[in-house]
Structure 1
Amino acid sequence: MKYLLLCCALLGLLTTARAQTAPLYFPPTSNTATWASVTPQSQGWCQPQLDSLLAYLGRQHTKSFVVLKDGRLVVEQYYGSFTRDSLWYWASAGKSLTSTLVGIARQDGLLSLSDSASRFLGRGWTAAPPAKERLITVRHLLTMTAGLDDTPPAPCDNESTNAACLLYRTDAGARWAYHTGPYRKLQPLLAAASGLTMNQYTNQKLGNIIGMGGAWAGDVYYSRTRDAARFGLLMLARGSWNGTPVLRDTAYFRQMTHPSQALNRSYGYLWWLNGQPSYMLPQTQLVLPGPLVPSAPADMFAALGKNDQKIYVVPSLGLVVVRMGNSAGQSHLALSSFDMELWRRLMATIQCRPLAATLSAAAGVAVYPVPAPDRLTVRLPASIPAARLRLLDVLGRPVREGFAAGPETSLDLHALPAGAFSLQIFDPQGRLLTTRRVLH
């Protein structure tokens, strides 16, 4: 009997491994050709949880949602008047596309990551002292460590690219800050290095090869949802498309999708990384403990854009997940609580895990006092032995993190300004149990 059970267990492990490492399928490059699909049921996914996920996405102002499994369509859902041929903006998810193009330029010998950005942009592209400006390299632009002020005074803002708005704050490499203005300088930098426009370079080096038919309009990339899925599939295939190398530089690909500096471990070369010991977010200098999206697989890396534009890649599961639409809640530059909830529901679908159990357990959570003057106490029911706590300000930025391992724990609110906050409570597996409003 023990031998039989052992054989069954090994067979299950082999089946799982085979499912997760199946050969990748690549759709035809023509957008009118058929893209092969598989049913959720054939993958062992549970339809009730999938129905709940799709209904949730519809309530969260989603325009489109696509999931690929090993390259094949397993979910493709459009909402309202949005269709397969509708165009939508990538917002900062386009940063990850730009990073890939920089890697292609490096493999072609057009630039080095250690090159000063001034080699391509000329002198005076910032308002920094000349000696400090020369310190800023291509790598610093890829890693958000240019050292320029990410909160310049009006009329400048985080996205401004005018030299007068790119102010020196600290030496390049010394500070991580999510700063779109310096990133956008990679586009004229690529144009100068290649002698092509951004659209010409994107199409010649990547888009035409994989059938991605989008276009840059100014600094923002627009495409159909399937185009974004094609890009995600290219990343799942580590830079190759159906045997054709696109990003051949394997060292660059690894650097791009792994921690690029020690300041924000969850940031590669313009890609967000899950499964790291800590992370930083836009508009704050807090270093927060734990992975970026605890409810998602640890090896996930993602292109994330404002208003919840998402391209997730999960090599261990052979998944590419794309979400386009309006903001699912409060407007955020990249990550939001929506990432956590989307993945909680998607993993429940994939693993056939009931959602109701965690929701009912959350009913016994108590948070007090309200308002909380100095400390906020969280009491867990016996059904929740431990939980992760995250306190968000009105902009959705994490301001406190904690771990509750007992019936009661508290968060120190001393240094926080008076106002309204949201307390998110997650179980040890990263599933969001409940969100409570807190006044301080």
Structure 2
Amino acid sequence: MTDLLPRSRPEDQGVPSAALARLVSALDAIGHVHTVTVIRHGHVVLEATWAPYERDAPHAMYSVSKSFTSMAVGLAIDERLFALDDLVVELLPDLVPEEPSPHLGALSVRHLLTMSTGHAAEPDWQASDEWAREALAAELEFPPGAHWLYNTAATYVLSEIVQRRSGERLSDYLAPRLFAPLGFQEPWWLQSPTGVDAGGYGLMIRAEELAAFGQLLLQRGEWRGDQLVPAEWIDLATSSQIANGDPASGAWDQQGYGFQFWRCPDGAYRGDGAFGQYVIVLPEQDAVVAITGGLADMGPPAAAIWNELLPAFDTVEAAAPLPAPLVIPPAGGARRDTELEYAYTAGPIARLRIGRECLVINGIELACAPHEWAVGELALDGEREWFGDRVAVSGGWQGDDFIALLRVLEDAVTFRIRVSPSGGLTITRDVGFDGPDVWSGEPATTAAGEAASSVG
């Protein structure tokens, strides 16, 4: 992939390499960080990737997608396709109930952007194929603008409005206006069953593309002499438009909310997505930090940035190399000639065979060794709850059990597979919106040799 931003020696941009080394060590200790990029004065001073993840591969952004939707809304408003205070009942008349409530009648684009729709709880907006209709049918317990509630349904309705008014999906609308000028390579956005980009999640871009987006924000929409997004919109979107808690608490999630952006301490702001996707913009330091990951707890990376990086800007220390190599530990264990096959009673995997140097999942063979990661393709039929087919696998025998790790390289998801010849199969997905998921299975046959030969 072509570099989107210039590179620089950290010290030349007022960042001690020793501080970057401490930041990387702190992120390494947290675990499950996939990439980190630091920009200072428009130059990349740090780009680190934890194997087996691939820096040039697309990665699921989760709710960072919302910040891109905000840019599309701002551009559409600048093009006078609609206005900030236009009413949703007038923009989407065929998707609202025949007799909208007074609260729904007062709902505007501004309220969708600020997550102040009036819902007391996020509606079950994906209960049918018509996501916007479901979202707009839900009761609004509060007047719009009176109550903040994080609400992905609101962002999807914004996507529907942009598509209706522009005639293009979000991704197509942004392509010539944002993605192509920034140098993005084939960004991809999940669509609803009715062909509308999901808006609030589902965007996949690369690590440096995420960082370049942060630099665009830092430059108030200017990129190489062209004003891609109006500076006034960037200022509105990234400033506090509504309270979302007590800023005096110093809490990461209570510093105010903008138009699909979170405020942070010390004058910073961010787009963030589940499981450790961040683009943090630090205007006072003229810096950007972008992270991708697969974290159950999103707090520690932010703490590492604030503890290790912010105090170090424009200080002087002796130069220090980054920790190397950066590798998420493989499964470990030993190889054995034993071959077993299991039936998976729930979840995305129907059958699993363990060979001496491979796993066979639903008939797809993946190389598998104890002390290294092997990358392959796992294109499963039917629905699944992660993005991308590329996976990394490592596994070996630990005592009486076979332990394997399977990492989806373009997403946050990791599976831990545990096979006990006497006790069956357990598969744990370590991150999910409802916590870890656990599935179990039993041997497909009683004879290991027969099980092994039953898979072609």
Please confirm whether the aligned pair reaches a TM-score higher than 0.5, indicating the same fold: yes
Aligned residue type for 1:309: Q
Partner residue in 2 for 1:94: 65
Structure 2 residues not aligned, in runs of 5+? 192-197, 246-254, 318-456
1:302-381 alignment to 2 at 5 Å?
A: 302-327=270-295, 329-330=296-297, 336-350=299-313
Alignment pair present for 1:301 and 2:269: yes
- C-alpha separation in 2, matches of 1:307 and 1:48: 27
Q: Of 221, 230, 241, which residue of structure 1 is paired with 2:212?
A: 230
- C-alpha separation in 1, matches of 2:94 and 2:270: 34
Distance change (3 Å), C-alpha of 1:241 and 1:261: same
Secondary structure at the residue paired with 1:196? Answer: coil
| 1:152 to partner: Cα distance | 4.6
| 1:97 to partner: Cα distance | 1.2
Q: Of 145, 148, 153, which residue of structure 2 is paired with 1:173?
A: 145
Partner residue in 1 for 2:47: 76
- C-alpha separation in 1, matches of 2:233 and 2:126: 37
Q: Is the 8 A contact 2:20 2:46 kept in 1?
A: no
Q: Is the 8 A contact 1:310 1:324 kept in 2?
A: yes
1:29-428 alignment to 2 at 5 Å?
A: 31-32=1-2, 35-59=5-29, 60-125=31-96, 129-152=100-123, 163=134, 166-213=138-185, 214-218=187-191, 219=198, 220-248=202-230, 250-262=231-243, 266-274=256-264, 293=265, 298-327=266-295, 329-330=296-297, 336-350=299-313
Aligned residue type for 2:11: Q
Aligned residue type for 1:259: S
| 1:55 to partner: Cα distance | 2.2
Distance change (3 Å), C-alpha of 1:126 and 1:53: farther
- C-alpha separation in 2, matches of 1:217 and 1:344: 36
Secondary structure at the residue paired with 1:321? Answer: strand
CA-to-partner distance for each residue in 1:49-104, whole Å, 9 max, x for gaps? Answer: 32222122123211110011122110000111222211111111111111111111
CA-to-partner distance for each residue in 1:93-147, whole Å, 9 max, x for gaps? Answer: 1111111111111111111011012223224447994432221100000001011
| 1:255 to partner: Cα distance | 1.6
Distance change (3 Å), C-alpha of 1:244 and 1:126: farther
Distance change (3 Å), C-alpha of 1:350 and 1:262: closer
Distance change (3 Å), C-alpha of 1:154 and 1:66: closer
- C-alpha separation in 2, matches of 1:93 and 1:233: 15
Secondary structure at the residue paired with 1:91? Answer: coil
Q: Is the 8 A contact 2:269 2:280 kept in 1?
A: yes
Distance change (3 Å), C-alpha of 1:48 and 1:69: closer
Distance change (3 Å), C-alpha of 1:243 and 1:263: same
Partner residue in 2 for 1:22: none
Aligned residue type for 2:119: L
- C-alpha separation in 2, matches of 1:127 and 1:89: 37
Aligned residue type for 2:188: A
| 1:32 to partner: Cα distance | 2.4
CA-to-partner distance for each residue in 1:304-362, whole Å, 9 max, x for gaps? Answer: 111121001112221111000101x43x6xxx3531233212224436599xxxxxxxx
- C-alpha separation in 2, matches of 1:144 and 1:154: 15
- C-alpha separation in 2, matches of 1:153 and 1:128: 20
Distance change (3 Å), C-alpha of 1:155 and 1:121: closer
Q: Is the 8 A contact 2:72 2:170 kept in 1?
A: no
Aligned residue-pair number: 295
| 1:268 to partner: Cα distance | 1.0
Aligned residue type for 1:307: F
| 1:161 to partner: Cα distance | 5.0
TM-score, normalised on structure 1?
Answer: 0.61
CA-to-partner distance for each residue in 1:157-182, whole Å, 9 max, x for gaps? Answer: 9xx75516733211111111111112
Structure 1 residues not aligned, in runs of 5+? 1-30, 275-292, 355-440
Q: Is the 8 A contact 1:127 1:166 kept in 2?
A: no
CA-to-partner distance for each residue in 1:363-413, whole Å, 9 max, x for gaps? Answer: xxxxxxxxxxxxxxxxxxxxxxxxxxxxxxxxxxxxxxxxxxxxxxxxxxx
Q: Is the 8 A contact 1:215 1:221 kept in 2?
A: yes
TM-score, normalised on structure 2?
Answer: 0.59
Q: Is the 8 A contact 1:66 1:323 kept in 2?
A: yes
Distance change (3 Å), C-alpha of 1:152 and 1:185: closer
Q: Is the 8 A contact 1:299 1:315 kept in 2?
A: yes
